[in-house]
Homo-oligomer: A and B are copies of this chain.
Amino acid sequence: MLSTTSRTTLGRAKDRGRTGREDLYAVLDAGLICHLGVVIDGSPMVVPTGYGRIGDTLYLHGSTGATSLRGTGEVCVTVTHLDGVVLARSAFHHSMNYRSAMIYGRPRLVEDPEERLAGLRALTEQLAPGQWDATRKPSRKELAATTVLALSLSEASVKVRQGPPVDDEEDYALPVWAGVLPLHTTWGTPEPDPAMTADLDVPEHIASRTIAMK
C-alpha cells in the first residue's frame, strides 16, 4: 500500500487514485524521464531528468555543478504518461487519459561507491536496458563529476484516468461527437552514429525494443 500523508491523499478526483505499490512501480518502470521539482532561493524549479529504480528507492543523478541537485531539501518527482485526449460534449469536461506518479521526500546523497555504481546502472538501464553491460563503465574522473541522489518511495501517490469522457447528464443528447483520441509513444528505427569507425550491427537489446511502448 502507498502512503496516506496529507500531500499524497487526493483532494479531488479520488476515483483516479491508485493505492498499490505495484501501481507505483508500473508507472515508474514504464517511464524514461521524470520532472524533478526543487525549491531554489524560495522559488520552484522543475527540471526534466532521468531516473532509475531499485526496489523502493529512486536514483537521480547529474553534474556536481547542477543547480537542481545542489540542496538536500524536499523534492517532488513526477512521472507522467499521456495516453490520449478525452473529447467531451462540453469544453468544461475535456480531459486527458494519463498515468502519473508523484513522490515526495528529502533525497539522500549517495556516497558509498557500490551504491553509487548500482544507482548509475539503474539510471542507464531505465533509459536503455542492456546498455550498462554493453558500454564502457564510468571512470574515476567521471564518477567524481557526478552527484547521485537516492529518494525513498515511501511517500508517493499514483493517479490514473482512462476511458471515455464523463459529461453532464443533459449533454449526452447534444449532437457532438465524443470519445478519446489515443496517443501512442513508439520507437523509431535506430540511427547509427555517423562517427562509428567499424561496421557494427545494431545490438539485439536495442533492435528488439518493442514498437509500441506501454
User: What residues make up the interface of A, taking CB atoms closer than 8 Å to B?
Assistant: 7, 11-12, 32-33, 35-40, 42-48, 50, 63, 65-67, 74-78, 80, 82, 84-85, 87-92, 94, 96, 98, 100, 102, 104, 120-121, 124, 127-128, 131-132, 134-139, 142, 146, 164-165, 171-198, 200-203, 206, 209
Q: Chain A interface mostly helix, strand, loop or mixed?
A: mixed
Given contacts A12-B63, A128-B94, contact A180 B175 (CB under 8 A): no
User: Which residues of the other chain, B, contact A182 by a CB distance below 8 angstroms?
Assistant: 187-191
Contact of B77 with A91 in the complex, beta carbons under 8 Å: no
The chain B residue sitting closest to A50, CB to CB, is B96
Q: List 20 A-B contacts (CB under 8 A).
A: A32-B85, A32-B183, A35-B35, A85-B128, A87-B128, A87-B206, A90-B135, A91-B135, A91-B137, A91-B138, A92-B136, A92-B138, A92-B146, A94-B128, A175-B200, A177-B192, A178-B195, A179-B196, A182-B187, A185-B185
